[in-house]
Amino acid sequence: MKKLLIAMIALLLLIGGTVCAQNAGVQRRTPEERLKMQVDAAKTALTLTDDQVTKVTAILAATTKQTDSIRTANQGGDRTAMQGMMKPISDARDAKIKAVLTADQAKIFEEKKAELFSFRRPQAPAQQ
């Protein structure tokens, strides 16, 4: 039952991401709206306590400010270089979030992160 619930949440996030991506040119979310969406998704997927929600919100808010400043400074620039600058920020964010989570929540966090990246970066077809 728990796996079914997690699978349903992942599917809803995927569908929501697809719909959001299609409307990206029409409507941009404010940083506050994006932060709220991230926190709500984490709260639901990881069943966070109120104390954990407060801590995760602070972590995500700080990270969002850093990444937004990098994106703003690099508009129209080298995307690969920008990703290289954001990776240490993302890694630090993930480490801080894991420190707030219980062992079970951290495991779910890693599973969700792996699912997200498998959708974003499909593997190359096998060589014949």
Contacting residues for 127 by C-beta, under 8 A, at least 6 apart: none
How high is the pLDDT of residue 99?
A: 94
What pTM was estimated for this model as a whole? Answer: 0.65
Q: Distance between terminal CA atoms of the chain?
A: 40
User: What is the predicted pLDDT for the residue at 86?
Assistant: 87
Domain limits of the chain?
Answer: 29-120
Q: What whole-number distance in Å separates Cα of residue 102 and Cα of residue 123?
A: 31
Amino acid found at 89? I
Closest CA to 73 of 86, 82, 84, 62: 82
> How far apart are alpha carbons 4 and 37 in whole angstroms?
22
Q: Which is more confidently placed, 76 or 46?
A: 46
DSSP secondary structure string for all residues of 27-60: -PPPHHHHHHHHHHHHHHHHT--HHHHHHHHHHH
The three state secondary structure string of 82-118 is HHHHHHHHHHHHHHHHHHHCCHHHHHHHHHHHHHHHH
pLDDT band for 53, please (50, 70, 90 cuts).
Answer: very high
Distance between CA atoms of 22 and 15, rounded to whole angstroms?
Answer: 11
Mean pLDDT of the chain: 80
